[in-house]
Amino acid sequence: MVKKAILPIAGLGTRFFPLSKTLPKEFLPLDSKPVIHYVVEEAIQAGVKEFIFVISPEKKEIFRKYILEYFVKEKGKLMKILKERKKEEAISILKSIPKIKWKVVVQKEPKGDGDAILRAEKFIKKEPFLVLFGDDLSFGKKCFPLQLVEAYEKYKKPILCLYRMPKKALSDYGVPKVKRIRGKVYRILDIVEKPKENPPSSFALVGNYLLTPEIFKFLKKTPFFKGELILANALRKMIEEGKEILGLEVSGKWLECGDLKKWMKSFLFLARKRVI
């Protein structure tokens, strides 16, 4: 049922300067593949057939040069050379890059994650969809997006991705107030952004969301905060109006790539898995 994913990639990657001056942060390597490759792979594992990229005006040329070159453009000339040279391993690696069906929409100004999602409304229609930020990947038997899709198939409600963390670490994350429904499924009662003390639960919100088209109505009537439309505020408004939003405590390891330090930790984690 969940066939589409919105991938907001409009950011300038300032947390990765000077690396991201020449290479988009989505193409920074993790082990042997760029970050965006993992995002696309996880979406495909979850059943996604179509990707909607939200880009900034500054990233139009980057999108053509990197995303389309990597995932869409045929590598006929290169493949011919590799076959002539009998580079079987290299051929196999190139063939492993998924070919994707895509659409692109421009977020004209940096007005927040909620605004980025709202730009993609025209491509969603009446179906549930994933929102996957390139800062958040997973490692385990089942990727986080697949776990969300499986939970949605049972509950038919918007589902947020919850990751249990020590409470002292939660001041850097959105933290939900929750009530357990069954097993690892919770009802979201509130969302607190970066609580400095007394977080309402032991869960951080991961940048993987399974949403329904109803979110667009709430995004449109959510006030901007400091010039940005915040997805968490729209979700909070849904809760205030009696809409049920669920959270799923996911299994596996969260690989964060939101800044240079977190990306390096994730890189080292995957690299060790390869060499050990």
Which is more confident, 210 or 83? 210
Indicate the SS3 state at residue 96: coil
Band of the pLDDT at 28, cuts 50, 70, 90? confident
Q: How many other C-beta atoms can be found within 10 angstroms of the C-beta atom of residue 273?
A: 10
Q: How many other C-beta atoms can be found within 10 angstroms of the C-beta atom of residue 266?
A: 22
Name the domain count of the chain.
1
Secondary structure letter of residue 225 according to DSSP: B
Q: Domain of 191: which CATH number?
A: 3.90.550.10
Asked whether the beta carbons of 27 and 62 are under 8 A apart, the reply is no
Average pLDDT, the chain: 91
Band of the pLDDT at 76, cuts 50, 70, 90? confident
Q: What is the mean pLDDT of residues 33-40?
A: 92
Residue 169 amino acid letter: A
What is the bridge-based pairing of β-strands 174-182 and 50-55? unpaired
Cα-to-chain-centroid distance, residue 140: 16
As a whole number of angstroms, the distance between CA 82 and CA 5 comes to 33
Band of the pLDDT at 197, cuts 50, 70, 90? confident
Q: Which helix (H) or strand (E) holds 34?
A: strand 33-34
Where do we find the tokens 């669920």?
246
Band of the pLDDT at 276, cuts 50, 70, 90? low
Q: Does 21 score more than 90 pLDDT?
A: no
Over the stretch 121-138, which tens digit does the pLDDT of each residue have? 999 988 999 999 988 999
Distances in Å between the Cα of 205 and the Cα atoms of 178, 227, 246, 256 are: 12, 22, 12, 12
For residue 187, the enclosing domain spans 4-275
Band of the pLDDT at 66, cuts 50, 70, 90? confident
Over the stretch 105-118, which tens digit does the pLDDT of each residue have? 999 888 999 999 99
Q: Which helix (H) or strand (E) holds 139?
A: strand 136-139
pLDDT of residue 275: 66
Distances in Å between the Cα of 137 and the Cα atoms of 50, 174, 189 are: 19, 17, 25
Q: What is the mean pLDDT of residues 65-87?
A: 83
What is the bridge-based pairing of β-strands 253-256 and 136-139? antiparallel
